[in-house]
Amino acid sequence: MDIVWQILIAVFIVILTALVILKLYVESIKGKCTSDVDLSGKVAIVTGANTGIGFHTALDFARRNARVILACRDLVKGQMAVDKIQEETGNKNVLVMKLDLSLMKSVREFVKLFEEKETRLDILVNNAGMAGLPLTKTEEGFEVMFATNHFGHFLLTNLLMDLLKKSQPSRVVNVSSLAHNWSKGIDFENLRAEKDYSIHNCYFDTKLANILFTRELARRTEWTGIYTSALHPGTVRTELLRHLPLFLKFIGFFVKFFFKE
């Protein structure tokens, strides 16, 4: 029995040592922004900015003196994020506006109100997203994950195009994911999940849609002064995975040890 315990302890120490080394390696290769660009006079929209990647993007823009609009579905959480950003940066030119990207009606209402208040748009960050939802249809008949991750941002960007052109040089940044590589190809006859539905394939397809949209938008705006790009943010600790099944959350609990904070 003593030998068994010694072996178990030795295995535990080896595994723990390997995890620590791997964690240190992951920390050493994390990307870091070294830009000191000032954004005074610039106006930025960040969708889904009350938490996670969107929040820290908005926080960084505020630190650079931009006027930042947090486009959020939940105004209460959005205002809490605004208060925190203002407190940390001293930038009072930060506000929240209602935007539910799963509803095209909400996207149009957001743009109408934004254009009534603002005269320019320099940066649009299409960040908001969701994953792991069971099949859910919006009141407009769209599958909610595809609507949120792609259709809403597609419409939002196109409705804001005149302001982006007016404010050139301007930028559109679409937050995609490495997961777009796992898409089997978008079925354009099944965009509303009419035939079948897979939680994972739907998410992969939305991220591929982000990439395809970015490439085509970049082609069409090549000579307009609008710079379009897509990005994979890496593995980041966000609320994106909150809808996943319990067993996947259990696995994710350990995997998150290596995620960016």
Q: What is the pLDDT of residues 52-94, one digit of tens each?
A: 889 999 999 999 999 999 999 999 999 999 999 999 999 999 9
Residues 144 and 136: beta-carbon distance below 8 Å: yes
Over residues 200-216, the mean pLDDT reads 93
Q: Which helix (H) or strand (E) holds 212?
A: helix 199-220
Q: How many CB atoms lie within 10 A of CB 200?
A: 14
Over residues 241-250, the mean pLDDT reads 51
Going by pLDDT thresholds of 50, 70 and 90, the confidence category of residue 11 is confident
Range scoring the smallest mean pLDDT among 3-7, 213-217, 220-224: 3-7
Question: Does residue 158 have a pLDDT over 70?
Answer: yes
Going by pLDDT thresholds of 50, 70 and 90, the confidence category of residue 260 is low
Catalytic residues: 203
pTM of the full predicted structure?
0.82
Among 23-37, 115-129, 232-246, name the most confident range.
Answer: 115-129
Residues 71 and 47: beta-carbon distance below 8 Å: yes
Which residues, 6+ apart, have CB-to-CB distance to 145 below 8 Å?
130, 131, 133, 136, 202, 203, 206
Phi, then psi, of 199 in degrees rounded to 5: -55, -45
Mean pLDDT of the chain: 86
CA dist 238 and 83 (Å) reads: 20
Among 49-53, 157-161, 248-252, name the most confident range.
Answer: 157-161
Percentage of the chain modeled with pLDDT above 90: 58
Buried b (16+ CB within 10 A) or exposed e, 107-139: beebbeebeeeeeebbbbbbbbbbbbbeeeebe
Q: List, edge to edge, every strand of the sheet that includes 67-72.
A: 94-98, 67-72, 43-47, 123-126, 170-175, 226-231
pLDDT computed for residue 97 by the predictor: 98
CA dist 201 and 205 (Å) reads: 6
pLDDT computed for residue 247 by the predictor: 45
